[in-house]
Structure 1
Amino acid sequence: MQRVDVAVVGGGPAGSAAGRAAAAEGADTLVLEKGVPRADREGLGPDSTDAAGILDYWVDIMDLDVPVPEHVKLRELNGADFIGPNESVEMDTTGIDSSYPNFGFTFQRARLDDWLRERAEDAGAEYRVGTGVGSVESDLTGRPSHRLTLKDGTEVETEYLILADGPQRTVTGQVLEPLLPDGKYDGLDATTANHIAYQEYREIPESLCEPDRLKFWWGHMPGHTAYPWVFPNDGRVARVGLTMPIGLDLDTVEDREEYALLRSDDERVPAGKEYVRRLLEYAYPSYDATDFPLQEDRGKRGGTETYPISSTRPIESPTRANVAVVGGAMGGTSAFHEGGDHVAIRTGKEAGRLAGLGALRAYNYEWQRAAGDEVRRNVVLADVVRDYGPDDWDRVFDVASAIQPDPGEGRAGWLDALRAGPAALGLFGRYQWGKFGVRDGGYCQIREDDYSV
């Protein structure tokens, strides 16, 4: 049996960041990654999916110590466009102070994963890929410890366990469910806690290519935080995709004829592939989908990717059991902003650092100090727009345009909302009241005291 100080389950951004940080503190650290193939990666690696990108202030949240290498980046970004059925808003600044000079950047996810893995190994962590974790047995009598049995029969014993197995929570569920009251874990079930995302790598006609902007369409398809997008990659290639709730019943959708990407004869929610085709032909009416050829050598397989993304509030960890949950497994990604690598990396770093120091009990405080403002913003915004339909999105984009500050003036405030009129003031007030309601970690759906440890 192998014995280590810190075992990390999952080798994506959160797991690699945790492994590096723990090893840098002198801990004997093992990162376990089951490994999946990708068309654009030579060997096995984590279940990578390309997200929207990294915004300017996300760079500071990640706290990587060194810049992301140029070979990992694809495009520098200058802004994002949010497109409603009849109104839209252009965002050329996030309004949040940051050290990064541009709006942000897109990146090649497999290269990011490989770079983070190299950093973990350079710090002294062992990164083992090719065999997943089959089961975990925790001994919480006295000084907590954990025994992991890998699917190849290997056993690993560890004092500190960091769970970084993503939104599906395959191993996280085994560890957390016995520590929670009956039924408490149900809200973290994959079909309840996640959205499903789908994207295709498409070549964009030269006349339509906007390589420095993200594009989001809101109010065009039904479902809470359901929206399609176009994200630039290298050359004229972009990712065209969408996120939507799992198991949405079209019979429950009101005013379904108002959604541009639905058809009157749809009996169920269209498949991701069909939604992409409809988006391209709707957004670019002088073209059809065949004018955007699929790049079959990209992504996971055949130029496509399907993946889960968190749609519920994050959770705190049972640190009294010497367990920390990080990244997507803790709900640190968000269906609202289509991404979470920045929160994954930072929560992994905090968990690894504290485990390496033997001070994991401080983890829930430290991750909220480091990334709590970002998590709270997304939780509250997602709550504010929960029941929005197409008309609501037009109204909010009209208001957003009215209160958007000039470049260099920071974020919109009460005076901007007041000057823009009652609708703007009401929207801004609901957002601020929502933030107040989830202060002091109230945005977490499971708190540390909920665990029986």
Structure 2
Amino acid sequence: MEHVDVAIVGGGPAGSSAAAAAADHGADAVVLEKGVPRADRDRTGPDSTDAAGLLDYWIDLMEFSVDEIPDHVILSELDGAKFYGPNNDLVMTETGIDASYDGFGLTFHRARFDDWLRERATAAGADYRVGVSVRSVETDVHGDPRHTLRLADGDDLSADYVVLADGPQRTVTGGVLDQFLPAGQQMSDVLPSTTANHIAYQEHRRMPEELFDPDHIEFWWGIMPGHTAYPWIFPNDPPVARIGLTMPIGLDIDDYDVAEWDLLEESDEGIPRGNEYIRRLLRRQFPDYELADFPLVEDRGKSGGTETYPISSTRPIESPVGAGIAVTGGAMGGTSAFHEGGDHVAVRTGKIAGRLAAQDSLERYNDEWQAALDDEIRRNVTFADLVRDWGPSDWDRAFETATALQDVRGIKADAALRGGLHGVELVARYKWGKFGYRGSRYAQLHEDDYTV
């Protein structure tokens, strides 16, 4: 049976980053990626479905400089973000967080980004295998080998350490972690897919040139139901844009007053599908144009210019490091459905896990990823909690007092006062909520919860 130092399940941003870091530190590392075809990639590789945008400080969190990212990966450099409520809006030109990149952020080609990370991993000496599916991982904490990976082709692979990087679907992660949960408990109870994930859908469409804005990402809040449910437009290479949305899984239209939500109609018998939501968004925003004015770009995305994918919408979990296992990126709940992004968390957690595994120090993984990402995760979890029960009028009111939300480092009190009592209330709730998540209280599964 083949043996490696570090086996990595999944070859997306977290997996490739883990492999590169492990190989850089002298480990024999292998990535096992099942591989999927995409219209925008010549070879099979990771799923690569994501809205694919980076804010300025996210580049620092990934421990990259923008100069390292190849030009063919970057699509648009951004000056800001536009946020729209049902009747009010906000333009943000700064994230409010110190960053080495002097722009607001950028959008990028996700498949090319993944391929670039894959090339970095192989250049470092890692073995990246595509078309290899992992069925299960069996762990004997005191055994030799400690981990045995059962592969779909019938072969086995043993490893000293395992990094789980299989994304928010957690097709392998769930079964692996089940081994270390108390009797009668399963990961499907801790992270049930219908509540631990959002579903996202996007289309690559060519926009009329006069409507295309290469400098801003755009989000609409309070026009479709569901916690942190919103549509967006991200600029690609002019005049192509990604037009998409994210929403919770399994919404029941009977739970909502249809008349309150701009993208619902009285004739709806259920929550609209993603493509219907996009048609309605385009009609709402550009009433003087026809859908035919926004043609699909069919050689983009996963298939026919479209793609559907899960986004982790939960608080993250810690890993059973005592068993020599690290969970990274979307698999650990590191993606935020609130701001539609998680590649930065995936890359950073992957880098930490790979390095520590190579150094035989994986027991430090939970402490190190929290030290690196604590403020980012607490911020996202707190904001998601803050807006949990908001309806359209709440979003409009928030945008009226938006100066109280502009400094994401800690919302300034003087800005809150300028926003009136509502601004004070928002600041107090945000600060108290973020304080309540200190000390990794945002983690919904802790290292001590595992039976290792």
TM-score tier, shorter chain, comes to: over 0.9
Map 1:48-197 onto structure 2 (within 5 A): 48-64=48-64, 67-141=68-142, 145-181=146-182, 182-183=184-185, 185=187, 186-197=189-200
Shift of 1:141: 2.9
Name the residue aligned to 1:33. 33
Decide which of 321, 339, 342 is 1:340's aligned counterpart.
342
SS of the residue aligned with 1:234? coil
Q: Which amino acid aligns with 2:416?
A: A
Moved >4 Å (runs of 4+)? none
Name the residue aligned to 1:449. 448
Shift of 1:403: 5.9
Q: Following the alignment from structure 2 to structure 1, what is the Cα–Cα distance between the partners of residues 109 and 273? A: 25
Map 1:249-264 onto structure 2 (within 5 A): 249-253=252-256, 255-264=257-266
Q: Following the alignment from structure 1 to structure 2, what is the Cα–Cα distance between the partners of residues 147 and 58? A: 35
Decide which of 212, 229, 232 is 2:232's aligned counterpart.
229
SS of the residue aligned with 1:199? strand
With the length of structure 2 as denominator, give the TM-score of the two structures: 0.97
Q: Following the alignment from structure 1 to structure 2, what is the Cα–Cα distance between the partners of residues 40 and 204? A: 19
Shift of 1:404: 3.8
Shift of 1:401: 3.8
Unaligned runs of 5+ in 2: none
Map 1:364-403 onto structure 2 (within 5 A): 364-401=366-403
Shift of 1:190: 1.8
Q: Which amino acid aligns with 2:428?
A: G
Name the residue aligned to 2:328. 326
SS of the residue aligned with 2:401? helix
Cα deviation, 1:257-285, whole Å, max 9, x if unaligned, reads 11000000111110001001000000111
Q: Following the alignment from structure 2 to structure 1, what is the Cα–Cα distance between the partners of residues 403 and 321? A: 44
Shift of 1:410: 7.5
Decide whether aligned partners of structure 1 residues 445 and 403 sit closer, same or farther in structure 2, where only a CA change above 3 A counts.
closer
Decide whether aligned partners of structure 1 residues 137 and 373 sit closer, same or farther in structure 2, where only a CA change above 3 A counts.
same
**Structure 1 contact 315–330 (Cα < 8 Å) conserved:** yes
Q: Following the alignment from structure 1 to structure 2, what is the Cα–Cα distance between the partners of residues 421 and 88? A: 18
Map 1:241-320 onto structure 2 (within 5 A): 241-253=244-256, 255-320=257-322
**Structure 1 contact 52–214 (Cα < 8 Å) conserved:** no
**Structure 1 contact 403–420 (Cα < 8 Å) conserved:** no
Q: Which amino acid aligns with 2:267?
A: D
**Structure 2 contact 245–274 (Cα < 8 Å) conserved:** yes
Shift of 1:418: 2.1
SS of the residue aligned with 2:226? coil
Name the residue aligned to 1:216. 219
SS of the residue aligned with 1:277? helix
Q: Following the alignment from structure 1 to structure 2, what is the Cα–Cα distance between the partners of residues 403 and 216? A: 16
Name the residue aligned to 2:359. 357
Q: Following the alignment from structure 2 to structure 1, what is the Cα–Cα distance between the partners of residues 33 and 227? A: 32
**Structure 2 contact 197–248 (Cα < 8 Å) conserved:** yes
Q: Which amino acid aligns with 2:127?
A: E
SS of the residue aligned with 1:371? helix
Decide whether aligned partners of structure 1 residues 355 and 365 sit closer, same or farther in structure 2, where only a CA change above 3 A counts.
same
Shift of 1:145: 1.2
Q: Following the alignment from structure 1 to structure 2, what is the Cα–Cα distance between the partners of residues 413 and 28? A: 48
Shift of 1:67: 2.0
Q: Following the alignment from structure 1 to structure 2, what is the Cα–Cα distance between the partners of residues 361 and 339? A: 27
Q: Which amino acid aligns with 2:236?
A: N
With the length of structure 1 as denominator, give the TM-score of the two structures: 0.97
Q: Following the alignment from structure 1 to structure 2, what is the Cα–Cα distance between the partners of residues 6 and 150? A: 16
Q: Following the alignment from structure 1 to structure 2, what is the Cα–Cα distance between the partners of residues 175 and 403? A: 40
Q: Following the alignment from structure 2 to structure 1, what is the Cα–Cα distance between the partners of residues 306 and 374? A: 32
Decide whether aligned partners of structure 1 residues 226 and 410 sit closer, same or farther in structure 2, where only a CA change above 3 A counts.
closer
Q: Following the alignment from structure 1 to structure 2, what is the Cα–Cα distance between the partners of residues 187 and 218? A: 29
Shift of 1:372: 1.6
Instruction: Give the root-mean-square deviation of aligned CA atoms.
Output: 1.5
Q: Which amino acid aligns with 1:380?
A: T
Shift of 1:420: 2.5
Q: Following the alignment from structure 2 to structure 1, what is the Cα–Cα distance between the partners of residues 238 and 363? A: 47
Shift of 1:422: 1.1
Cα deviation, 1:146-200, whole Å, max 9, x if unaligned, reads 1001111121100100000000000001111221133352131222210000000
Cα deviation, 1:312-341, whole Å, max 9, x if unaligned, reads 110000000000000000001111111100
SS of the residue aligned with 1:219? coil
